[in-house]
Amino acid sequence: MFKSYWRYVLAIIISFVVLTGALVALAMLLIYPKLPSLDSLTNYQPKIPMRVYTADGALIAEFGAEHRAVVSLNKTPKVLQHAILAAEDDRFYQHGGVDTMGVLRAAISNLTSGGAKEGASTITMQVARNFFLSSEKTFTRKLNEALLAIKIEHSLSKDEILTLYINQIYLGQRAYGFGAAAKTYFGKPIEQISLAEAAMLAGLPKAPSRYNPVVNFPRAQARQHYVLRRMLDLHYITNEEYTAAINQPLVIRNVRDIAGAEVSADYVAEMIRLAMYDRYQDDIYTNGLKVYTTLRKADQDAANIALWKGVEEYDTRHGYRGIEGEVTLPGDQQNLTSDLDNAMQDMNAVHDLIPAVVLSSNAKLVRAYIKDIGITEITGTGLKFAQRLLTGTNKLALHPGAVIRVEKIEDNHAWRITQLPQVEAAFVSLDPHTGAIRALVGGVDYDRNKFNHVTQAWRQPGSTIKPFIYSAALEKGFTAATLVEDAPITISPDETGGVLWEPKNYEGDYSGIVSVRQALTKSLNLPTIRILQTITPHYAQDYLTRFGFDAARQPPYLTLALGAGSVTPLQLASGYAIFANAGQAVKPYIIDHITDTNGKLIMQSKPEAAKAVIDPRNAFIITSLMQDVVKRGTAARAMQLGRNDLAGKTGTTNDQVDAWFAGFQPNLVAVAWIGFDQPRTLGHGETGAQAALPIWMKYMSTALKNVPQVQVSPPDGVVTVQINPLTGLPTGEGETGVPEYFYREAVPIAKTQADPNIEYPQTTDTPQNNNTTTTSPLL
């Protein structure tokens, strides 16, 4: 009876196996021929984003729906390969695509655990699903997946399949493939990851969102420990290696760094994206182009730090404005931190300024919750900036629920109250000999304001326009020694373009008779206006176009002398580069070369040949005037850099609306600007020297570190003559004078007695007329 029973059961089992085999065979006959072609596998073309780099190879940004870094199997560390096999498919190199033993093990596990908790998908089946199928959990999809896996195994080697898996699998944070994931989560190339890091990455394919270490590190770590235990059980690692990996602290990149950028240059990245889109359209997001810019990482880092420091210093000078906003404090203290994080989810850190919510405050202590960090107490110097609003009924005063900004105090674990700056700023530097842009910061924070102030902001240049006016004057017969009157002047509406004008110097005083050199060194307005009167505004307007300025934006009125036109910071930098480059103009450019995904060069920029636009003698003399601006004029603060090869000009517009400094060393030009997007005063005393020059200096202190000083010799046709500064004439026998540069043909050689008490220098009418000398008028 017992034997008959087992014969009956065995017959049923055999019948079931035969029937199942027949059904599988039928399915294969019907479905297998209709399976998709494997061309996408055998000719693998992954979607690789466009990447933008500095000239020295630091990643700036990447553009594409998928972060991906394709790697070959021989460049994938064995420790990662073993971690993947341990986590996903330890019999990968033994089965034929479908692991029957794995299926049986999973079935038993699911039966004993009371539910479907363990899957049996092999790496090959996952490749099939990722390339060809959806993730729906149906029998048909599973059957197709198994059949495709078998087909893949017949067409590709095991190493080829594993390579596809390593590069295609989604691992969270828009990272596709382990190469991108290593960069995304740990900020390093795949070749450099440790055993502990490899185990964490290998744990991601099971559920990328669930085991994402950025979102839930404890859960990701638990999964990592499981992978390490599997590796130990499979003898991939030793007990010592297992213990070391379990105890290794892991540093996960923060949210801001998820894209893997190695240098902050968001405004440049967008400039490149737009330029590449114009050329290649949507292909840029998938074809793996690599765009190498002319930026240098050290220069860009220095520019970022300098601009932010300058903005912070400006903001601090003008005091604490009050709270940023407010939120309702939750009544449930148990969920306080999570509720406040949710309330601040759209408030992001700007540089090191982190949003926080005040929980309680008094004159000596503020207790606050810092987003994503925790509750802290701010005391002592940390309260100083906000002291006047720590208590009181003012709606901007600190009170429970108030949103504030805090930052870490340097070399300390304490925090201090600060605020988001409202002012904007821009900075750009370039090589005056080639036009290669070395650093570009288009604003204070790209996430808050995507307007690129370097290329898009048309602002009044103030006195930074004066060197160009003086350059035009040299071409009209003036010299650096020509005497000009610094005295009150009234300008008619016809000469200003509309209103009666009584201009003044910034300090409100007058110097009487000054030389052209003194006028520029001290940035005197009235002598500059008189010079423009003499050479005429229309001549100056036309002359400015030699430097790349738009004539339409430079009105032909006497107000042009003080920068009433408009320029962009990049345009101004290009103009100053002409002085630094001996009178030759170069076109700024920012893309150096482009390669395809395999590194093949597909475009190499060829900078335009430098074009002579002004006399090199003119460029040299104007540069010498601007060197005096730095050595003893409005920019004398720059002498703190300890260099004698710097030249430049401060600029401040009416009511301190715009503050500038434009300057250069013979091999590097830089321009700093600061102001508000909706033009309004920066405040009393916020001149170019006060607000913009410190940004320029901080950048140059880094960019020129260990760069030898350059002594520029006068070009042919420039002579040095001892001049009596009171007359502007060459010194006579026994007289003491000062050296001054002249065009050879424009050395003063005669004098006139327009006033019996004053002698005036004689200059040529134009530098081209070598035979005629005339007497300068008193200007």
**pLDDT higher at 65 or 53:** 53
Query: What pLDDT shows up at residue 311?
Result: 97
**Residue 210 shares a structural domain with residue 111:** yes
User: Residue 107 has what pLDDT?
Assistant: 47
Query: Do 240 and 328 share a domain, yes or no?
Result: no
- The confidence score (pLDDT) of residue 174 equals 78
Question: Residue 21 has what pLDDT?
Answer: 54
Tell me if 533 is assigned to some domain: no
Q: Does the pLDDT of residue 456 top 70, yes or no?
A: yes
Q: What is the pLDDT of residue 528?
A: 96
The mean per-residue pLDDT over the stretch 727-744 comes to 89
Could you tell me the residue range of the domain that residue 753 belongs to?
Answer: 718-775
Say whether 692 sits in a helix, a strand or coil.
helix
> What local confidence, expressed as pLDDT, does residue 192 receive?
93
Q: In this predicted structure, what is the pLDDT of residue 548?
A: 96
Average pLDDT over residues 713-722: 95
Q: What percent of the chain has pLDDT above 90?
A: 58
Q: What is the pLDDT of residue 331?
A: 78
For residues 274 and 290, give the distance between their C-alpha atoms in angstroms, rounded to a whole number. 15
218 and 77 within one domain: yes
Residue 74 sits in the same domain as residue 172: yes
400, part of any domain:
yes
Of the listed ranges 188-192, 542-546, 632-636, the least confidently predicted one is 188-192
Assigned domain for 368 exists: yes
Q: How many helices (H) and strands (E) does the chain have?
A: 23, 28
User: What confidence category does residue 44 fall into, taking pLDDT thresholds of 50, 70 and 90?
Assistant: low
Confidence (pLDDT) at 115: 44
In this prediction, residues 554-577 reach a mean pLDDT of 96
Instruction: Say which residues have a Cβ less than 8 Å from residue 640's Cβ, sequence separation at least 6.
Output: 697
Lowest-confidence segment of 108-117, 465-474, 769-778 by average pLDDT: 769-778
Token code pair at residue 215 = 């979102």
Predicted confidence band at 110 (pLDDT cuts at 50, 70, 90)? very low
In a domain, 144, yes or no: yes
On the question of pLDDT at 495 being above 90, the answer is: no
Residues 326 and 253 in one domain: no
Tens-place pLDDT, residues 427-452: 999 999 999 999 999 999 998 999 99
What pLDDT score does 129 carry?
78
Q: Do the beta carbons of residue 441 and residue 596 sit within 8 Å?
A: no
Under 8 Å between Cβ of 579 and 626:
yes
Q: Are residues 144 and 247 in the same domain?
A: yes
Three-state secondary structure string covering 64-83: CCCEECCCCHHHCCHHHHHH
DSSP code for 667: T
Q: Which residues are catalytic?
A: 88, 463
Same domain for 248 and 356, yes or no, is no
Looking at 374, 393, 418, the residue that finishes a domain is: 418
Q: Which pLDDT score, from 0 to 100, does residue 27 have?
A: 56
If asked whether residues 115 and 236 sit together in one domain, one would say yes
pLDDT at residue 13, as a whole number: 60
Identify whether 21 is part of a domain. no
Q: Sorting pLDDT into bands at 50, 70 and 90, what band is 101?
A: low
Indicate the residue among 352, 383, 418 that finishes a domain: 418
Cβ count near 296 (within 10 Å)? 21
Determine if residue 435 is left, alpha or beta; phi over 0 gives left, psi from -120 to 50 gives alpha, anything else beta: left
In this structure, how many other beta carbons lie within 10 angstroms of the beta carbon of residue 331? Answer: 8
Q: What is the count of structural domains for the chain?
A: 3
- Same domain, yes or no, for 133 and 238? yes
Given pLDDT bands bounded at 50, 70 and 90, which one contains residue 135? low
DSSP 174: T
In this structure, the answer to whether residues 222 and 95 fall within a common structural domain is: yes
**Which comes out higher in pLDDT, residue 163 or 676?**
676
Kindly tell me if the per-residue pLDDT of 255 is higher than 60.
Answer: no
Place of tokens 């990968």: 92
- Answer whether residue 402 shows pLDDT above 80: yes
User: Using CA atoms, how far apart are residues 416 and 356, in angstroms rounded to an integer?
Assistant: 11
Using CA atoms in the order 374, 379, 380, 382, what is the torsion angle rounded to 10 degrees? Answer: 40
CA 533 to chain centre: 43
| Cross-strand pairs, 51 | 62, 290
The pLDDT value recorded for residue 547 is 97
Section 326-347 average pLDDT: 82
The arithmetic mean of pLDDT across residues 67-75, rounded, is 84
The pLDDT of residue 336: 82
User: Which DSSP string do the residues of 336-359 spell out, in sequence order?
Assistant: HHHHHHHHTTT---BTTBEEEEEE
- If pLDDT is split at 50, 70 and 90, which confidence band does 391 have? confident
Residue 139 is assigned to a structural domain of this protein: yes
- Residue 312 pLDDT greater than 60, yes or no: yes
Is the pLDDT reported for residue 741 higher than 90?
Answer: yes
* 740 in any annotated domain: yes
Q: What is the CATH number of the domain that holds 80?
A: 1.10.3810.10
Q: Write down which residue in 257, 275, 308 finishes a domain.
A: 257
Specify whether 227 is located in the same domain as 339: no
Specify the DSSP class assigned to residue 689. Answer: I
Q: Which of 2-11, 151-160, 528-537 has the highest mean pLDDT?
A: 528-537
Residue 683 lies inside a defined structural domain of this protein: no
Helix (H, G, I), strand (E, B) or coil at 592: strand
| Mean pLDDT value across residues 461-476 | 97
Residues 11-37 pLDDT 10s: 666 655 555 555 555 555 545 554 555
pLDDT band at 48 (very low <50, low <70, confident <90, very high): confident
Considering only CA atoms, which of 568, 549, 565 is closest in space to residue 557? 565
- pLDDT greater at residue 493 or residue 24: 493
Per-residue pLDDT, averaged over 728-735, amounts to 84
Same domain? 115 vs 249: yes
